[in-house]
Structure 1
């Protein structure tokens, strides 16, 4: 039972970290109808800028989580205003190729600035060490990740379902022309949503840095995991993102403990099974 509970806790912190990152990707798809391949590169940018803020500038970790992602926000605003808005009404392959090219450009730019070395951010003193309960030692930082994931989930759910801003975003996502007729500045909303998705990705990079080494390949890994999540849960579906993250977290948590030999294959097997029986995801519907 102790081993099972340890795997469950491990699954939970992995799932909620992945939720923070993948929800930005799914929000962007839901509003802009664009699959953003550059999302993983923005996650990596957040991690590297966070490293520079904490290690080089001496910024407190708590402040870096808020400040460092704004580098990705500035870049995202430039990308949306100067590039993406010209491909909204074109074939979906154009936006896919554009964001894929942007991913390569951002990745190479990060390598030029920070090099190809591996960096590590130590968690703040308050979050070092472990908690002991029921015979299990659990890292304090993992508890912090779970709390941040739940906080992100609660704020986003409240924001989209209980505020005027959430209704504005949903209106722009459902029918841009009609939203404009009721005096909603859809261009601003779209830019803000893309920037917010980038902020979530970069914030996830800062939060993940003490758990995962910062290296030039981290963006490629996370974009694959994010796509697995949105495929499992359903493109553009908020609840589906949470369910997809939980499924992938359970696969990683229990697969790494009980099936280490095939752990790398399990997420793809899970995604393939969902595509076979639920092609639009567990919570998704047919997109027209």
Structure 2
């Protein structure tokens, strides 16, 4: 019994990062209807960027600031990718979209190897969360408890964003009927770009938060994307709450 409790806690910690990535993909697909295979690449890029920032800056402010800055920087990159490439293929067949975003994945992976090298990188431990708590005689990292709390917190923030802001209402409306939103005079291009940037931010944040737990590798994009697609399909395309529940079940 004790073993299963500890494994459940570890699984919930992994589910938090998986939820962040899956919720971003779910939001993007719900609005743009694009099959974004490059989502895992942004997850990986967030981890590498966070590794670079946290290695340069020390202390709690440097670590958490580096995590946030890395996520924002990758979100900007994602917005540029959407404006330059994806905006041109929204009406294209899904297979074409899949191949195009897979091409982005390959380019990002080659770029990562060129900049950071092919070796796995070990990130720093999170300041203030370097210890462990004994649960039924087994040690569980305190950082895992932070991730367990982070998942529901992000879910709550996303719910507030989509239900209490005008932008969130437009996003939910676009999820139901994009043509009607366009007919009401909403600038679809910038709405899609902002949604894509938010989704990429969540993916990059999920990757950045993994650096104290796992080695940063140039293959981590392909290792996460399959699980993310499974979570999105189980939870329902465009459903953030469904992604949270599915992430817990899958993990």
Given candidates 153, 156, 168, the residue that maps to 1:154 is: 156
4+ aligned runs moved over 6 Å, structure 1: none
Q: Could you give the per-residue CA deviations for residues 159-208 of structure 1, whole angstroms, max 9, x where no partner exists?
A: 22333221111122222332133232221110000011111111111101
Q: How much has 1:70 moved relative to structure 2?
A: 2.2
Q: Is the 8 A contact 2:57 2:63 kept in 1?
A: no
CA distance in 2, matches of 1:52, 1:239: 32
Partner of 1:84: 86
Shift of 1:215: 0.9
> For 1:218-257, what per-residue CA distance to the aligned partner results, in whole angstroms no more than 9, with x for missing partners?
11101111112112222222232112201111xxxxxxxx
Secondary structure at the aligned position of 1:143 is classed as: helix
Q: Which 5+ residue runs of structure 1 have no aligned equivalent?
A: 250-288
Aligned to 1:3: 3
Secondary structure of residue in 1 paired with 2:40:
helix
Checking the alignment, whether the CA contact within 8 Å between 1:17 and 1:146 is kept in structure 2 is no
2:18 corresponds in structure 1 to 18
**2:169 aligned to which of 152, 167, 170:** 167
Q: Map residues 1-288 of structure 1 onto 2, 5 A cutoff.
A: 1-58=1-58, 60-249=62-251
Is the Cα contact below 8 Å between 2:174 and 2:181 reproduced in 1? Answer: yes
What is the distance in 2 between the residues matched to 1:112 and 1:192? 29
Shift of residue 8, structure 1, vs aligned partner:
1.6
Unaligned runs of 5+ in 2: none
Query: How far apart, in 2, do the equivalents of 1:151 and 1:64 lie?
Result: 20
Q: 1:174 to 1:150 in 2, by over 3 A?
A: same
Computed over aligned residues only, the root mean square deviation of the Cα atoms, in angstroms, reads 1.6
Q: Number of paired residues?
A: 249
Q: Distance in 2 between matches of 1:107 and 1:189?
A: 28
Secondary structure in 2 matching 1:211: coil
1:250-273 CA distance string (max 9 Å, x none) = xxxxxxxxxxxxxxxxxxxxxxxx
The residue number in structure 2 matching 1:284 is none
* Contact 2:31 2:178 (8 Å CA) reproduced: no
Once residues 188 and 15 of structure 1 are traced to their aligned partners in structure 2, the CA distance between those partners, rounded to angstroms, is 31
Greater length-normalized contact order (CA 8 Å, ≥ 6 residues apart) = 2
